[in-house]
Amino acid sequence: MQREETSTHESWRPLATTGQAANIGTVPRLFLGCGTREVSGVTLLELLCVVAIIGILASLLLPTVVPAYSRVRAMSEEMEAGEIVGLLLAETRGYCARTPKYRFENKKDFEEKCGLAPKCRSWVQASATEFVPFNSFDPTNRVVLVFHIGRNHATRYDFTAGELSTRPPER
């Protein structure tokens, strides 16, 4: 900071107070061959700090959000169960009616042949779903498909080969 001497008996003062304006609020930056240039903006370091802070806050919030999401998903499965079961039965029975000598080897084969809707596919593909291969010659009272849904997979839906392949009697 430069100082100038005054004629009065005042003490030393900086130049900025004597009317010589200093550029306040901008930072001069030196560039090779360009002289000085005034730049205002955000540096890369500041941006990285903001990203790191957001990451830390997200990591603190994530453990509380995941259980809540799981609970909501389980409740929605339980609420939609009736519709999904009806859709699954309709699609499976339709395929079995069109193909009298049907044969299902695994979950993937079952969902591809029946042309299941996306929600039904997700139920069949779930790790908690039990599937037993079956065909048109198996006994109709044999349980071949079991869904475990809801909280802690507590709700269970069992389907026999007969339920999946034959239409219920008309009333």
Angle subtended at Cα 161 by Cα 143 and Cα 150, rounded to the nearest 5 degrees: 55
Interaxial angle between packed helices 44-98 and 107-114, expressed in degrees from 0 to 180 and rounded to the nearest 10: 70
Residue 16 has pLDDT above 70, yes or no: no
Return d(Cα 43, Cα 47) in angstroms, integer.
6
- Work out the number of other CB atoms within 10 angstroms of the CB of residue 104: 27
108-145 pLDDT tens trace = 999 999 999 999 999 999 888 999 999 989 888 999 99
With cut-offs at 50, 70 and 90, classify the pLDDT of residue 152. Answer: confident
Q: Give per-residue pLDDT as tens, 24-77.
A: 555 555 555 555 666 678 899 999 999 999 999 999 999 999 999 888 988 888
What residue spans define the domains of the chain? 81-165
Spatial separation of the C-alpha atoms in residues 170 and 115, rounded to whole Å:
25
